[in-house]
Amino acid sequence: MMPVTRTGAVVLLGARDDAHVQEVARRLRAETVDTVVVDTRAFPERTRLSLTETLDGIVVDGREVGRPAAVYVRGLHGHPLAFGVDAREHMDADWRTTLTAFREKSALLSGLLGRWERMGVPLYNPPSSDWSLHKPAQLAALQAAGLPVPRTLWTNDAEAVRRFAREGRTVYKPVTGGAATRELREADLADERLAALAAAPVTFQELLPGENLRVYVLDGEVIASLRITSPSLDFRQREAVIEPVTPPPELTRDCVKACEVLGLRWTGMDLKRDADGVPRFLELNGSAMFLGFDARGGTDVAGHLTRALVRHARG
Ligand code: ADP
Ligand code: MG
Ligand code: MG
């Protein structure tokens, strides 16, 4: 077998002008770490990517990348609906060809990540953890591991929703995330309203009235914890107060365990306290944003993440 090329470069996978990619790249270069940005948003229009049948036969924009020291996976831009993608014109002109092209792009980029994981490259995060980013799998896996999660129902069954709502105050939100969380009202239980479930399933969840927590875990350690106080149910809706907090040891242990159960190397997770003050896991993100929290909460997720990548590069 051919020896696997070691380049020692750190690869950042995401849009070149993404603020997180830029910040991590800037910090790595300040540490004189060889840094390669694979601009996934510009692929395949501008980014040139060639993979051969050998694991390390990987060339990006004319440069052999082979087996990098570590990879920060910000985003693949692999779907018209993905964050940062604007495919409206292409979709309006020819949705079938556009979707097919995105599927091809996504298959190649996922294959690239799969090869790096196969080669033992440290990936933040590895593709083997992708299953866990689907919340119906994620929360159930956490629950099975003995971690506190809210009472939840993912369904398109109107009767199941009505039974669930009888147990107490309930919120609803998308299965995927990214849209506002709202409280379920009596009027939402009407036939006409629940008929919308024939178009798409929805998440129904016990309403957690307590404070929001955002906790970052990296390589088995809590590196930042913040409390978010907001007058509205979904803290992204209104101005919120963000401040660093020191979590109690049990919570620190639970957060590290949650990250490990899902096979994530790092994460930013959302928790919210129930009526008894118990923090329950809402979600662990596979590519959590952190610049806003660092800026407003005084944490240093960017520094911790960069130092982890630098350590791999210096081997
Ligand atoms: P997303 O993937 O969209 O971020 P989350 O589950 O993190 O989804 O929900 C977004 C926000 O909505 C949470 O951070 C929280 O402020 C609010 N929220 C979500 N679920 C509940 C709940 N069960 N009870 C009260 N608020 C919730
Ligand atoms: Mg999310
Ligand atoms: Mg969230």
Which residues, including other chains, have CB under 8 Å from residue 81's CB and lie 6 or more apart? none
Q: Look at residue 120 in the predicted model and tell me its pLDDT.
A: 97
Please report the sign of the dihedral spanned by the C-alpha atoms of residue 44, residue 45, residue 46, residue 48.
Answer: positive
* Cis bond before residue 156 (omega within 30° of 0): no
From 167, 234, 293, give the residue whose CB has the most ligand 1 atoms within 8 Å, as the site to mutate.
234
Residues 168-183: pLDDT tens digits?
Answer: 999 999 999 888 999 9
Residues 182-218: pLDDT tens digits?
Answer: 999 999 999 999 999 999 999 999 999 999 999 999 9
Q: Hey, is 255 helix, strand or coil?
A: helix
From 171, 181, 238, give the residue whose CB has the most ligand 1 atoms within 8 Å, as the site to mutate.
181
In this structure, which residue's CA is closest to atom 16 in ligand 1?
Answer: 234
Residues 40-49: pLDDT tens digits?
Answer: 999 999 999 9
- Ligand 1 neighbours by CB, cut-off 6 Å: 150, 171, 173, 177-178, 181, 205-208, 212, 233-235, 270, 272, 282-283
C-alpha 15/C-alpha 75 separation (Å) is 8
ipTM, 2 dp? 0.99
Q: By C-alpha distance, which of 228, 208, 229 is closest to 276?
A: 208
Average pLDDT, the chain: 95
Q: How many alpha carbons fall within 13 Å on the CB side of residue 135? A: 25
Poorest-pLDDT segment among 2-6, 199-203, 305-309: 2-6
Task: Tell me the β-bridge partners of 203.
Answer: 154, 173
Residues 247-280: pLDDT tens digits?
Answer: 999 999 999 999 999 999 999 999 999 999 999 9
Phi, psi of 195 (to 5 degrees): -60, -20
Asked if residues 247 and 255 have their Cβ atoms less than 8 Å apart, the reply is: yes
> Confidence class of residue 235 from pLDDT cuts 50, 70 and 90?
low
C-alpha 279/C-alpha 285 separation (Å) is 17
